[in-house]
Amino acid sequence: MIVNLSATRGEVTGHVRATDGSPLSNALVEIRELGRYAALAKALTEAKGEYTLNAPEGSYDIKVSRVSFVEVSRRITVQASAPLRQDFALRADRVIGGAEPRFNVATPPLRAIPPARTAQISGLITDAKTGAAVSGATVSVQGQKSIATGRDGKYALLNLAPGVYRINLSRSGFSDQERIVTVHAGEAVIAHFRLSARPAIFKR
């Protein structure tokens, strides 16, 4: 699609909120040409979650993203004769690992993120069959010191630089697990693991 920058332009406005109705500031709203990655226009929402963008008349994709929320994309048509309103409700994200454990366990406390905008990954290790917490499991990440879960089965990898991490989990009597987790600056990711017991091998 070729955009004529001298063409008549239209306005797109709206609010970005969380699903509980609270306004979301600093959410990134982008208008993109169909099938293109580069943004034609973009803006950050204000304190009340409001945004305003302008674009030439035509059809576009509009995307809204914010740290710790699931991004949303829609197809829109911009017209100069009628301002377009697009409101968004974003759902919280970053709970990884499927269903929560079958017994009531409080989420591990999240420590304050240092000013350097590092990230952290924490979670709970449980037995897939019994639902019991697994202590003594080794959690390792390339380039980081390995840690072991406590009696409550919890772990926390702190002060991580933003990026993609391969988490390896091992425990005697259980099958090893591996998972890829992406973290952004200032983000606290929850990644729970459910370990399956390794089948016993009997020697004759």
Q: Where are the domains of the chain?
A: 9-90, 95-195
**Residue 143: predicted pLDDT:** 72
Q: Are strands 9-18 and 88-90 parallel, antiparallel or unpaired?
A: parallel
Q: What CA–CA distance (Å, rounded) separates 150 from 128?
A: 18
Per residue in 126-173, pLDDT tens? Answer: 999 999 999 999 999 877 778 999 999 999 988 888 888 899 999 999
Q: Do domains 9-90 and 95-195 have the same CATH topology?
A: yes
**Residue 106: predicted pLDDT:** 52
User: Are 130 and 139 within 8 A, CB to CB?
Assistant: no
Q: What CA–CA distance (Å, rounded) separates 78 from 34?
A: 13
| H or E element, residue 178 | strand 177-183
**Residue 135: predicted pLDDT:** 93
Q: What CA–CA distance (Å, rounded) separates 147 from 157?
A: 8
Q: What pTM was computed for the model?
A: 0.45
Q: Which positions of the chain have pLDDT values less than 70?
A: 1-7, 94-116, 200-204
**Residue 94: predicted pLDDT:** 59
Q: What CA–CA distance (Å, rounded) separates 158 from 41?
A: 36
**Residue 8: predicted pLDDT:** 85
Q: What is the CATH number of domain 95-195?
A: 2.60.40.1120
Domain 9-90 fold is Immunoglobulin-like (2.60.40)
All residues at 6 or more sequence positions from 118 whose CB lies less than 8 Å from its CB, including other chains = 158, 159, 160, 161, 162, 185, 186
